[in-house]
Amino acid sequence: MLNLAIILEDSARRYPDKMAFQFMDTALTFTQINVAANQVANGLLQQGIQPGDKVGLSCLNLPYFPIIYFGILKAGAVVVPLSVLLKQDEIAYHLSDSEAKAYFCFEGNEALPMGTEGKAGFDQVAGCQHFYLITARPTDPPSIPGVSTLGMLMKGQAPSIETAQTSAEDTAVIIYTSGTTGRPKGAELTHSNLLLNAILSGDLVQVDHNDVILTVLPLFHIFAMTVCMNSGIYRGGSNVLLPKFDADAVLKLMLKHKVTIFAGVPTMYWGLLMHDDPTIDIDQITKTLRICASGGAALPVQVLKDFEAKFHVPILEGYGMSEGSPVVTFNHLDVGRKPGSIGTPAWGVEVKLVDEHDQEVPIGEKGELLYRGHNVMKGYYKKPEANKSTLKNGWLYSGDVAIKDEDGFYYIVDRTKDMIIRGGFNVYPREVEEVMMKNEVISMVAVIGVPDEKLGEEIKAYVVLKKGATIDADQLMQWTKDHIASYKYPRIIEFVNTLPMSATGKILKKELRNR
């Protein structure tokens, strides 16, 4: 028997009075988080939630997230975390597709009316019977008339519970993948998947109970959930929560709380690098910040080098997927690291690269990345056809193109879906982006393929320039042409002030294609 909630229960026993989660001026200990989770679990059981039932959760990075997450697990139910940016029809789709019986939703505010959207989505799903509004303070009345709140559910509930005895292979979380095509699919992750990934994540960044982790990556996303929240709880570390990335806020929290670990996506490192405020003492930050982790997308080598030079801290880049719980490969501190690579396979995970005939490719050649091990999901919930094409003979087909060097380090070239076929030649956007980022006037770039009558697809670059820098499209085109094969440089360049980003900080190339 195994229930992921043991990581919280164990730390509550070992470090009862230690700060587990801090948000603004509110600090909650491991004991307080555990007791509150017990009350949520007791409330759910009283409402008729059965082991195996699915429960939706829409919540910003607030202490309510771990409280509800572990409360659902303690009841033996399955957590279905949802992006806080979803609108009512999308929420209805996720609740319906996952067959959720209950739904917790933070009330939000005028700028982000999560509660209103959540309730409207919930109302569309007949099978979802219970709606709980998460109010800013547990005692607050509901901002939506007539609904139950999290505070009402917890009120009067016993502070202890006998945690449900789930099996290691039971589903703990269904996490929806954004997917570049079609509607999102729910990856079923087991208690074993998530526990082993939390343990290996703790090992990779060497978390211990003295560490302070700054969590600005959204907790509904598998990266923050496993690498920040679960591994932090498992090792007894403290999490400082920030609901939305803002470079100024991140740096000030690093100073205030003497943060030792930061995990982010490439756009966050870029944002921290670009932030220029002479009143923030970077030297003080570097005295405590000891390690950073990057994932979610490829980190431009130039950004990595510049960040490490400024903050004097290593960024360990890794590769993962929701379907892989998430960590698949990582740059390990003990076996060395290579800038630009996604490292070597994580403990207990096997990786190989294959061609379109499923034959392994030689070292240095491009192939689709496949992996197998304890991290691989059970499958997509109620999607047998998708499972047939993604899971074969124990291997998960990632859809990502990579190469392996002679030292066994892997490098992501691109998504197979993002590859541009220009006049019969394959062009990988990542390669073009890496070259363009070396130009000293460029701050950020995103390369996509656009339809072309003659060539099938043409290469287009959306470029954000550094503050005060100037260059015209023809000059930049010529510069890029001088540094890359002639069929690969962009023939169309558009200068923009910002690039569209997801809630997790990924550049949304799908939106760029639809412009």
With contact defined as beta carbons under 8 Å apart, do 214 and 262 qualify? yes
Domain membership of residue 468 as a residue range: 420-513
Structural domain includes residue 1? no
Residue that is written with structure tokens 């990934």 in the block: 197
Please classify residue 36 by burial: count the beta carbons closer than 10 Å to its beta carbon, then call 0-12 exposed, 13-18 middle and 19+ buried. buried
- For the four alpha carbons of 218, 224, 225 and 229, in that order, the dihedral sign comes to negative
Which of the residue ranges 73-82, 345-354, 428-437 would you say has the lowest mean pLDDT? 428-437
pLDDT in tens, 248-287: 999 999 999 999 999 998 889 999 999 989 999 999 999 9
How many H helices and E strands in the chain? Answer: 17, 27
392: CATH: 3.40.50.12780
Q: Within this chain, do residues 259 and 403 fall inside the same structural domain, yes or no? A: yes
Q: Which residues pair with 354 in a beta bridge?
A: 360, 368
DSSP assignment of 289-335, as one string?
Answer: --EEEE-SSPPPHHHHHHHHHHH---EEEEEE-GGGSSEEEE-BTTT
Tokens of 499: 């690039």
User: Of 358, 393, 415, which residue is a domain's last?
Assistant: 415
Q: C-alpha 31: how far from its chain's center?
A: 27
pLDDT in tens, 127-163: 999 999 999 999 999 999 999 999 999 999 999 999 9
Q: Which amino acid is at 397?
A: Y
Q: Within this chain, do residues 149 and 251 fall inside the same structural domain, yes or no? A: no
**pLDDT score for 179:** 54
pLDDT in tens, 8-55: 999 999 999 999 999 999 999 999 999 999 999 999 999 999 999 999
Q: Within this chain, do residues 58 and 182 fall inside the same structural domain, yes or no? A: yes
Average pLDDT over residues 86-113: 95
**pLDDT score for 178:** 66
With contact defined as beta carbons under 8 Å apart, do 294 and 301 qualify? no
Residue 336 carries which DSSP code? B
Nearest to 102 by CA among 153, 140, 66: 153
Structural domain includes residue 47? yes
Q: Is the pLDDT of residue 411 over 70?
A: yes
Using 50, 70 and 90 to split pLDDT, how confident is the model at 353?
Answer: very high
- In the predicted model, what is the mean pLDDT of the chain? 94
Q: Within this chain, do residues 286 and 427 fall inside the same structural domain, yes or no? A: no
pLDDT in tens, 292-314: 999 977 788 899 999 999 999 99
**pLDDT score for 180:** 47
pLDDT in tens, 159-189: 999 999 999 999 999 999 865 456 889 999 9
Q: Within this chain, do residues 386 and 469 fall inside the same structural domain, yes or no? A: no
127: CATH: 3.40.50.980
With contact defined as beta carbons under 8 Å apart, do 433 and 300 qualify? yes
Structural domain includes residue 369? yes
Nearest to 381 by CA among 220, 225, 184, 198: 184
Q: Within this chain, do residues 477 and 400 fall inside the same structural domain, yes or no? A: no
Residues in the chain: 515
Residue partners of 429: CB distance under 8 A and separation at least 6? 414, 418, 419, 420, 446, 447, 448, 449, 509
What is the value of pTM for the model shown?
Answer: 0.88
Query: Beta-carbon neighbour count of residue 513 at 10 Å?
Result: 14
